[in-house]
Structure 1
Amino acid sequence: MEFISGILQPYKEIVGSAAGIVTIGQFLSGAVMCKDIYKNKSTIGTPSMPFIGGIVIGTLMLKYSLMLADTAMLVVNFAAVFLNVLYLSFYFIYSNNKMDEIYKPLSYGVALVGILLTYTSWEDPTLVEYRYSIITTVLLLLLIGSPLIEVNEIVRTKDSSSIPFPITFMGTICSTLWLLYAIILLNNFMVFQNIVGLILSAVQLVLCFKYPKKQHKKRS
């Protein structure tokens, strides 16, 4: 890895800037999903988890940004929370099953945020930053891979509607760029994080191309 890092070192700023821009692009990709919802006048075939998960992870990462006193991370994650709140509000308008699609998963997310923020208040200050980073990384990877929970159903119905293609596509590019950046920095933790994220996103992209999203009829 040191050899590759040496080759890429002159491009550190370019790779870092590109990764940041694509990350913001990934946040904006939720607008494409909202466009589909508006077009169909229904949320059928569009999961709410990317938006709810974005709010939860963004909130937790805001706390991590405060721990690190990192202004750039703070701005990025504030934008993530703000945009996903807007997307979820739009989703709410067209949802026909608000209890299962919004209320229940959102209540679980709020509870999780409450528990983890409480944890940070009593954990040993010398350990909390490292342990909290591990927790948020695991949750982020679970969010990225969550559509794969329905992989059997996707294969059975030959329909990848449960996979948010715009977010997954941008996430694949994002993970690739951050992986390159992690290699440049020789940060093994970031390398592992983005390799797993890249694999999870790539598998979902394969499913999207193999089993294209089907059109769903609006409920009466």
Structure 2
Amino acid sequence: MSAVAYELLSTTAVISTVFQFLSGAMICRKYIQKKSTGDSSGVPFICGFLSCSFWLRYGVLTEEQSIVLVNVIGSTLFLIYTLIFYVFTVNKRAFVKQFSFVLIVLVAVIIFTNRLEDQRDQMIHITGIFCCIVTVCFFAAPLASLLHVIRSKNTESLPLPLIATSFLVSLQWLIYGILISDSFIQIPNFLGCLLSMLQLSLFVVYPPRTYSGQGYKLVEQAVPF
């Protein structure tokens, strides 16, 4: 692939990922309008912050500017979403505990890998493993909704635009990972492509009879990279 094509891929991957990150703004807008988070969970925002922070660390270590840029934006956005959720949630104590746990994990991994500064390859390898684990866990989050769709034979609760976007984002980063020969980027995004394709196939098997808008609530389950 030419340098121009490579730059085009990395640029479009960053842009599409940032737009996917911005889906959280729609959710926060609802919280602000209602002045309440209702029965929503703030875990996706917290986990999004953790995921982007890990990938930001990985991008800095590997000197991949595209990874750094997209995750600087992502970690900033998810931190803002987290703060908005905190302002409007009733159960602030539980939310603070969840966020504190994530911060402890993040700081502990950074401190641990910093001790391997003389072994840079191992430092990158361990950080990459944590990035993969966190991202794969997030991709697994929608599986419960898939089971509901299969049982009910109805895809009305699935957000089609978000799933299609997730597939595009995962595919772009998968190709990017292949081009730079980085298995830590390839693995989670390959799994992300498979999950998105599975979700999209359900729209063919169980076409929605009507659209009730229920899928909007599921937007907060998607934590991309």
| TM-score relative to the length of structure 1 | 0.73
How far apart, in 2, do the equivalents of 1:48 and 1:78 lie?
20
Name which of 160, 166, 169 aligns with 1:174. 169
Contact 2:86 2:92 in 1 (8 A): yes
Provide Cα deviations, 1:49-72, integer angstroms capped at 9, x if missing partner. 221112112222222232123444
Change (3 A) 1:159 1:180: closer
1:65 aligned to 2:59? yes
Report the alpha carbon displacement of residue 113 of structure 1 after superposing the two structures with TM: 0.7
Aligned-partner SS, 1:132: helix
Which residue is 1:3 aligned to?
none
Name which of 68, 73, 76 aligns with 1:74. 68
Q: Which moved more, 1:123-132 or 1:106-115?
A: 123-132
Alignment of structure 1 residues 1-220 onto 2, 5 Å: 11-100=5-94, 102-123=95-116, 124-148=119-143, 170-183=165-178, 185=179, 187=181, 189=183, 190-203=185-198, 213=214
- What CA RMSD, in Å, does the superposition of the two structures yield over aligned residues? 3.6
Report the alpha carbon displacement of residue 29 of structure 1 after superposing the two structures with TM: 1.7
How far apart, in 2, do the equivalents of 1:46 and 1:79 lie?
24
Contact 1:33 1:164 in 2 (8 A): no
Q: Taking every aligned residue pair, what percent have the same amino acid on both sides?
A: 24
Aligned-partner SS, 1:46: coil
Change (3 A) 1:168 1:97: farther
| TM-score relative to the length of structure 2 | 0.72
Contact 1:26 1:170 in 2 (8 A): yes
Provide Cα deviations, 1:120-153, integer angstroms capped at 9, x if missing partner. 0223433121222122112112123224356667
Aligned-partner SS, 2:214: coil
Change (3 A) 1:214 1:176: closer
Contact 1:37 1:46 in 2 (8 A): no
Contact 1:27 1:80 in 2 (8 A): yes
Runs of at least 5 residues in structure 1 that lack an aligned partner in the other structure: 1-5
Change (3 A) 1:155 1:201: same
Q: Which moved more, 1:22-31 or 1:34-43?
A: 34-43
How far apart, in 1, do the equivalents of 2:199 and 2:98 lie?
22
Q: Residue 112 of structure 2 aligns to which amino acid in structure 1?
A: Y
Change (3 A) 1:64 1:85: same
Runs of at least 5 residues in structure 2 that lack an aligned partner in the other structure: 218-225
Contact 2:28 2:85 in 1 (8 A): yes
Q: For this pair of structures, how many residues does the alignment match?
A: 207
